[in-house]
Homo-oligomer: A and B are copies of this chain.
Amino acid sequence: MIRVLGIHASPRKYGNSFKLLWIALRAAENEGAETEIIHLYDYNIGPCFACYSDYYLNCRYPKERKECPLSGVDGFGEVAEKILASDAVVFSTPVYWFMASGVLKNLFDRMTSLENMIYHVGRSLLDGKVAGVIAVGEEAGAAMALSWALLTLVNMGFHIPAWGTTYYHGKGDVLEDKQAVSDAYNLGLNIVRATKRLRGSNEAPWYRFIGEDEYESLVEEARKVAEKNKAEQRRERPWLK
């Protein structure tokens, strides 16, 4: 069973970056994977202290050994365990100032402790996993966020499948944009297919369009989940108008 983790890097659990991530993971399920979405804002991810800049062996994934000064102090360990237990990860970020959110940047900075294990145990703990990336925002910057994420992930040891990125920079509800939904769906499919093939199986083509019926039921379901999240989250954010 292939496990795909969705990491949502927006504070709004009902926005467009959530919706596209949900569509992508649903496609992954349709392709046979087991999926989970986590919201990064539910974890407290502190900034990296760059210990390796003093000495490169300072940085290691702490789990039990606690070398990292932040080990056990914030929520990174929980997220890291989920990543390590996954075969593939789909990151979905809002675009703030032409780039991924600060929370996703902090997560990537902290993931250095997983990659840096190449110096301790001979391989990156992320080596051979598969990744996809989604970026959403009305303003420009999706490409900058996606390209930065791709370069980083490839250099941590992730594979990126064809059509492994999706974005939306239109106004309004992304679920009304057929191209974006279709792209997210294909991203989810390709993540799973690449994971399977990189492990030896050999299956279908790399891109397919989803039919009207499938599209409409998916979109409807995504909308309901987002609305439920919004209703719940509004109670936690009373300052919002």
Interface of A toward B, CB cutoff 8 Å? 10-12, 15, 41, 47-51, 53-55, 57-58, 67-69, 94, 96-103, 105-106, 108-109, 112, 118, 123-124, 127-128, 135, 140-144, 146-148, 150-152, 154-155, 157-165, 167, 169-170, 194, 197-202, 205-207, 237, 239-241
Contact yes or no, B58 A11, CB < 8 A: no
* Complex-state Cα separation, A158 to B51, whole angstroms: 33
Partner of A237 from B67, B69, B202 at Cβ < 8 Å:
B69
Name the residue on B nearest A146 (C-beta): B151
Which label, helix, strand, loop or mixed, suits the secondary structure of the A interface?
A: loop
Q: In the assembly, how many copies of this chain are there? A: 4
10 shortest interchain CB distances as A-B pairs: A200-B202, A102-B106, A147-B147, A140-B143, A102-B105, A147-B151, A98-B143, A140-B142, A141-B143, A160-B160
Name the residue on B nearest A103 (C-beta): B47
* Complex-state Cα separation, A165 to B58, whole angstroms: 26
